[in-house]
Structure 1
Amino acid sequence: MNINNSNFASIDEMRHKINAAEQKTNQTASKTGEKTTTFGEVLQSTADRVRFSKHAARRLETRNISMTKEQQARLEEAVDQAEEKGMTESLVMVDDLAFILNVKNKTIVTAVNDTSNAVFTNIDGAIIN
């Protein structure tokens, strides 16, 4: 149904076209045995992971900081805790490693492995994990 008398499709027409295309894709995938993944699922799985900024990645490399899978899991837990508490910039301690986390972007902005004389500013919370 074209309501606006122009050459543009209505919202309902576009929804119908999108649904038809998705059904066709799903039918093709089910015939070939492939598992389909929606854009939303891909976006959600990517959004759930913590990222490292270029600066933090460089710090990890130059300071020879490596993390075990268990430490990475604890870091990801800390991201969830920081979100739950409403933090924006937080210090996350995992064993002897310190990370500054931008909670909104789920991004580690810097990493430190020697905290003996460290001073951390512009944070609104700390998570010791």
Structure 2
Amino acid sequence: MINKINLPILPTQQTNKTVSESQDSSSSQIEQIGSFEDLLKSQLGRSPTVRFSAHAQHRIASRNIDFGSEEAVRLEQAIEKAANKGSRESLILMDDLALVVSIKNKIVITAVDADSRKENVFTNIDSVVLT
């Protein structure tokens, strides 16, 4: 019969850091990242994260819908509001424009202008956001 001897595995490097030293290094990492204000400014200056499906792009182009940067910002804010409420698919009404948006994926599924949305039925939505 063979008797096995189990030896513990020892670390290859010795660490001499105390708890206070590790806290000091984590606080210096936070300082390197920057302040919340800097982070907010950098995020506000970035390009919009909302994407448009091929169908929505076709609808916007065929109906000559003007969708500029101001509308893009309003759309992002509306998506953020819907996401905070737990929405999945939303109808977002902006001026004379109705957009069906996948909130989770931040994708505009379709776009309908004021003339085309008369007597339409919007299905598969769980919320409406008015902006």
- For the aligned pair, the TM-score class normalised by the smaller chain equals 0.5 to 0.7
Map 1:2-41 → 2, pairs under 5 A: none
CA-to-aligned-CA distance 1:92-115 (integer Å, 9 cap, x gap): 001010000001100000000032
Q: Percent identity?
A: 44
Residue in 2 aligned with 1:77?
Answer: 77
Which structure 1 residue ranges, 5 or more long, are not aligned?
1-40
- Give, in whole Å, the separation in 2 of the partners of 1:89 and 1:71: 19
- Give, in whole Å, the separation in 2 of the partners of 1:55 and 1:67: 15
Among candidates 115, 118, 130, match of residue 128 of structure 1: 130
Residue in 1 aligned with 2:94?
Answer: 94
Q: Secondary structure at the match of 1:117?
A: coil
Provide the aligned C-alpha RMSD in A. 1.7
Residue in 2 aligned with 1:52?
Answer: 52
Divergent runs of 4+, >4 A: none
1:57 positional shift: 0.5
- Give, in whole Å, the separation in 1 of the partners of 2:96 and 2:118: 10
In structure 1, give the amino acid aligned to 2:54.
K
- Give, in whole Å, the separation in 1 of the partners of 2:117 and 2:130: 13
Greater Cα radius of gyration, structure 1 or 2:
2
TM-score, normalising length: structure 1? 0.61
Q: Secondary structure at the match of 1:101?
A: strand
User: How many equivalent pairs are there?
Assistant: 85
- Give, in whole Å, the separation in 1 of the partners of 2:52 and 2:70: 17
TM-score, normalising length: structure 2? 0.60
